[in-house]
Amino acid sequence: MNTAWPLERNTTLAFCGYSGLTCCNATEDSAIMAKFTAMNITDSSCASTIKSILCAKCNPYSGELYTIDDTPRIAPVLCNNSTSDFCAATWNMCKNVAIPNNPFSQTSTPKKLSELYHSSSDFCQSASGPITEQAVCLNGFSAQFPPTEPTPTPEGICIERLDNMSFTNMAPHPDGSNRIFLATQSGIIFLAELQDFGHALKYNKSQPFLDLRNRVYLDYESGFMGLAFHPNFTNNGRFFVSYNCDSKKTPDCLGKCSCNSEIGCDPTNLGTDNGAAPCQYQAVIAEYTVNGTSNSPSTDHGLSTVDEVNLLTKAGNYGWRVYDGFDLFHTNWTPGGSTPPESINPIFPILVMHHSDTHSNLDEAVLVAGYVYRARTDRCLYGRFIYADLYGFDMWTANELPYMSGNFSSDRVNFTCSRQSPIPCRFVNSTTIPALGYIFSFGQDNNKDILLITYTGVYRIVRSHLCGYKCMLDSDFSSPAPTEEEPIYQQLAPTPSPVLSPSNPPSVSMQPPKGQSSPPLSSIAQPPTTGPFLLAPSPN
């Protein structure tokens, strides 16, 4: 199964019958046929059903059917809802048929469904998943999508502050637990434990999981970029990191750098870049995004007037440098010569935003991509793509209707901090906007709850009613209890230069609670370097 992106086929698969877009090639189709033949299912009705289930790997939406973005399944999600009950039909036709290598078990011994499950409801609870009305499912030959009625527009997003340290990256532990990895731009990685809502992040700041500061080259746009884990990390311990390094200071900082004379590059004319020799700084990237999947939303900061949100596809051409968003991009000179617009087949963005369309006093928007919300914490956010402005003043949710159509609409959404936050939030001037500084990235834990990784700490999305927002899907909505605690405000300095370092946001003056003092941000920016360290194994 090709989980990267469905391929366009001019012919029909001989066994599974898919044509056009499919996630199988002819070899994979033949392998499915061989597996089905070896099952030797004598009941024709059951055989037809099992064939369609095996061939779901070739469905262009197989990634959704096998939930590869969540916990990958051994069999596709079967429809068990008000419009299609393919799951119950599968049970009725195959419950008493012994099937070798049954797709719903992991044993070669012939098994009946009735030997694996006690009843139809027991089987469908496993085969259909918990959110049957909102999941993509197999209704026989094709994939069925959730209802196209939009969910109620959320009144706002409520967050709580879990930590006040500045991180730039986050990744959930692959073991499925409540542990997460957090990394600083300088290259320190911590293993932390998420607590229940209303409780702060738990970790030992004096004992990092890994310290790469002696390898990482750090400046305003360089440093530690991210980490990813091998799918079998819990057994082999392999993980991968991406960072910038200095070839003059780190002997094993290796990479290729060349000047292509075919496009007019003259190596004798290469000057320094902010004092650095050409090719001095390298990017170390090892199998990054090993768990990456198709159609993931991604943001791109346009050079001219707009920022854009794209759906990532394998080998996709997003139009740059011919297009900036939907507009033709004109420049006096770009490396590589001129590319006529008619010579490419661009994939245009699903959403665009002009740089000036923001509440930031910088008159410039830089979009930061989040996630499609799949947690059960805020039901009104479910299925919406959440993204924000780098400068922390704006947040949006985008909805796709119909589902999997690529047609998105976006709304700016209010957001504030819960009064029950385990660490009190600070706010921008006399507003309810939390003082996040820069929003560096979003993270997603193993419960699909979304975290904001910002300059002023780590924040988590919680139930909307904790901030007084009402979700019409919550039957137990209640406003938070009144509190006499005064909000803590953060006063912004005059408008800074747009070229300020992302690691040094606009200077601020803190107004702590009465009777308390507030430590400077610099005192919590980096932890001590003592403690055990683990070396990342070679990706080779």
Lowest mean pLDDT among 82-86, 452-456, 486-490: 486-490
- pLDDT confidence tier of residue 518, bands split at 50, 70 and 90: very low
pLDDT of residue 343 exceeding 70: yes
- For 203, 315, 454, 514, 530, the CA distances from 209, given in Å and listed in that order, are 10, 35, 20, 37, 11
Over residues 169-184, mean pLDDT: 94
CA distances from 221 to 29, 168, 277, 503 (A): 46, 12, 17, 8
pLDDT, average across residues 269-290:
49
Residue 407 has pLDDT above 90, yes or no: no
Structure tokens at 161: 């502050």
Q: Which of 66-70, 158-162, 470-474 has the lowest mean pLDDT?
A: 66-70
pLDDT at 472: 82
Write down the residue that tokens 């920016």 correspond to. Answer: 525
Greater confidence, 477 or 389?
389
State mean pLDDT over 325-350.
71
Residue 58 has what DSSP assignment? Answer: G
Which has the higher per-residue pLDDT, 532 or 94?
Answer: 94
Give the separation between CA 83 and CA 147, rounded to whole angstroms: 10
For 448-468, the pLDDT digits (tens) are 999 999 999 999 999 999 999
Alpha helices in 74-199 (DSSP H): 86-94, 113-116, 120-128
In this predicted structure, the answer to whether residue 279 has a pLDDT above a threshold of 70 is no
- Does 485 have pLDDT greater than 50? no
Return the bridge partners of 190, or none: 182
Token pair listed for 136: 């993509």
Question: What size, in residues, is the chain?
Answer: 540
Choose the most confident range, by mean pLDDT, from 460-469, 497-506, 516-525: 460-469
* pLDDT score, position 274: 52
Amino acid 403: pLDDT:
67
- Strands (E) in 297-391, as ranges, are 297-301, 306-311, 323-324, 327-328, 351-354, 367-372, 385-389
What is the pLDDT, as a whole number, of residue 246?
Answer: 86
CA distances, 159 to each of 322, 432, 458 (Å):
39, 12, 10
Distance in angstroms between the alpha carbons of the first and the last residue of the chain = 24
pTM above threshold 0.95 = no
The pLDDT of residue 316 is 75
pLDDT(128) > 90:
no
- Answer for the pair 470, 386: CB distance below 8 angstroms, yes or no: no
Q: Report the distance separating Cα 378 and Cα 375, nearest Å.
A: 7
Q: pLDDT higher for 141 or 400?
A: 400
What does the pLDDT average to over 194-219? Answer: 94
Q: What is the mean pLDDT of the chain?
A: 76
Rounded Cα–Cα distance for residues 455 and 303 (Å):
24
**pLDDT of the residue at 308:** 81
Contact by Cβ (8 Å): 355, 307? yes
Mean pLDDT confidence for 121-130: 83
Decide which of 164 and 107 is more confident.
Answer: 164
Structural domains in the chain plus CATH codes: 7-144 (no CATH), 156-524 (2.120.10)
Model confidence at 2, in pLDDT bands (50, 70, 90)?
Answer: low
Degrees to nearest 5, angle at CA 463 with 176 and 524: 70
Pairing of strands 143-144, 351-354: unpaired
> What is the per-residue pLDDT across 215-265, written as a single tens digit (0 to 9) for each?
999 988 889 998 888 878 888 888 898 899 888 887 777 655 555 555 455
- Of 372, 452, 533, the C-alpha closest to 170 is 452
Give me 117's structure tokens. 């499950």
Integer angstrom CA distances of residue 286 from 226, 255, 330, 346, 379: 10, 12, 35, 28, 37
SS (H, E, C) 425-471: CEEECCCCCECCCCEEEEEECCCCCEEEEECCEEEEEECHHHHCCCC
| Confidence (pLDDT) at 85 | 81
Kindly tell me if the per-residue pLDDT of 102 is higher than 50: yes
Model confidence at 197, in pLDDT bands (50, 70, 90)?
very high
The model's confidence at residue 271, banded by pLDDT at 50, 70 and 90, is low
Q: Are 260 and 271 in contact (CB under 8 A)?
A: no
Strand, helix or coil for residue 200: coil
Look at residues 366, 341, 342 and name the one whose alpha carbon lies nearest to residue 355. 366
Segment among 10-19, 318-327, 372-381, 492-501 with least mean pLDDT: 492-501
Residue 334 pLDDT: 57
